[in-house]
Amino acid sequence: MNRRTFLRSAALAAVAASLPQRALALGSDTPAFFPDLYSGKGLKLHFRPYELKLRHSFNLAKSSRTVTPGVQVQIDFDGVRGYGEASMPPYLGESVDSVMAFLGKVDLSQFTDPMRMEEILGYVDSLSEGDNAAKASVDIALHDLVGRMLGKPWHVIWGYSPDLAPATSFTIGIDTEEVVRQKVGEAAPYSVLKVKMGLDRDTETVDVIRSMTDRPICVDVNQGWTSKEHALEMCHWLAERGCLFVEQPMPKEMIDETAWLTERSPLPIIADEAVKRLKDVAACKGVYSGINIKLMKSTGMREAHEMITLARALGMDVMLGCMTETSCAVSAAAQLAPCARWADLDGNLLITNDLFSGMRIVDGKVTLSSLPGIGITPV
């Protein structure tokens, strides 16, 4: 038995139950099926739009939305399918049209060995300067495909213990007191609450939460504070109220002011909007305490893994985050969770029309599936 035949046989035995062979309902206002499974010898890319519907309006310091545009992706090879997705919140600067246009340029049929991941993903990255979420969708699908062919999840392939995965936070957006109380109730299974800030009622939101629970919180300001003195005052105030860290307190352009804050803050200051890809990590050293890595910013799992390695070598904390996404992209990010100090992997919990089952939260902790690839099954 040659290598390809062995891999194909092992993959089909491991994942036959999770590969859809016919229609999969996606909702009344979306196309109702994944394409038939391709059994050819070259890589076959499929993609189509899929809008994510949020359980609550997602209110940030500078924006608000009730849906998140997305694109679902599949890569088929020799009877095996891998799944990926792109999720495009407005600040990324991508859209369904831009992602579809980028994916339309991707020719994976030229590759006949999906194991040559560096070559394939290097080619995808070379097609444009940006399009990070679009590239991430291909990266995730390729990782899922290869993991399925190998019959192992990626945290096992990388040699990480799932027991080291941290607790994940549950996000509470900027909202009325009534809705904040409702969200705190919904967050009962989670041991850490992530609080969105950046408006004039920041302290009121925390006071409401503290009137209901003493669970630790972390704060994401989404660049909403513009005074370093006010930011420092808030960090001290939050430290007295059980806060673990503060994420992107000031605009990413305020580098000197953020470095000043990080030096004086009683809490770690974490970069989000200020860091996207590997080239951004070193510049965060001395400005931030750590970085928030998201697959939609990093172009996927490959570069996210490299970013974690570099950040840890620089002595920086690592947080693993996500956008509002299905369990596909969230479970892909979760493969890296054992490397992170903190996790914010709740994007699939914020939507009403998930397409997959995968990574679960058990007693507030990221719990990885033993299924191969990124550990998901279509539902």
What pLDDT digit, counting tens, does each position of 37-77 carry? 877 778 999 999 999 999 877 655 555 678 999 999 999 99
Contact 162, 140 (CB under 8 A): no
**Which pair of structure tokens corresponds to residue 46?**
């499929």
pLDDT mean over 101-123: 97
| C-beta separation of 212 from 206 below 8 A | no
pLDDT at 60: 55
* Per-domain residue ranges of the chain: 3-152, 156-378
Q: Say if residue 199's pLDDT is above 90.
A: no
Sheet (strand 290-293) strand order = 169-172, 192-196, 217-220, 243-247, 269-271, 290-293, 317-320, 342-343
Q: Which two tokens stand for residue 323?
A: 């956008």
Fold classification of 156-378 (topology level) = TIM Barrel (3.20.20)
- The H or E element that residue 11 is part of is helix 3-15
Quote the pLDDT of residue 61: 52
Instruction: Tell how far CA 247 is from the center of its chain.
Output: 16
Mean pLDDT of 134-153: 98
Q: What is the pLDDT of residue 198?
A: 86
Beta bridge partners, 49, equal 71
Q: What is this structure's pTM?
A: 0.88
CA distance 270 to 220: 9
Q: Which residue is it, tokens 């990480």?
A: 160
What is the C-alpha to C-alpha distance for residues 40 and 77, in angstroms, rounded to an integer?
6
Q: What is the pLDDT of residue 62?
A: 56
Give 145-188 pLDDT, tens digit per residue: 999 999 999 999 999 999 999 999 998 888 889 989 998 998 88
* pLDDT value of residue 210: 96
Residue 343 token pair: 């996790």
Comparing CA positions, the residue from 50, 54, 38, 142 lying closest to residue 99 is 50
pLDDT of residue 8: 45
264-279 mean pLDDT: 98
25 has pLDDT over 60: no
CA distances from 221 to 8, 91, 184, 218, 245 (A): 47, 14, 18, 10, 11
Give the model's pLDDT for residue 11.
43
Top pLDDT among 18 and 274 is at 274
Assess contact for 231 and 249: CB atoms under 8 A.
yes
pLDDT score for 20: 35
Give the rounded percent of residues in the chain with a pLDDT score beyond 70. 89
Q: Is the dihedral of CA 323, 326, 329, 333 positive or negative?
A: positive
Residue 15 in this model has a pLDDT that exceeds 50:
no
269: enclosing H helix or E strand: strand 269-271
- pLDDT in the model for residue 299: 98
Is residue 7 pLDDT above 80, yes or no?
A: no
Q: What is the CATH number of domain 3-152?
A: 3.30.390.10
Q: Is the pLDDT of residue 359 over 70?
A: yes
363 has a pLDDT exceeding 50: yes
Which of 270-274, 284-288, 361-365 comes out lowest in average pLDDT? Answer: 361-365
Categorize the per-residue pLDDT at 317 as very low, low, confident or very high, splitting at 50, 70 and 90: very high
For 148-152, 273-277, 312-316, 350-354, which range has the lowest pLDDT when averaged over its residues? 350-354
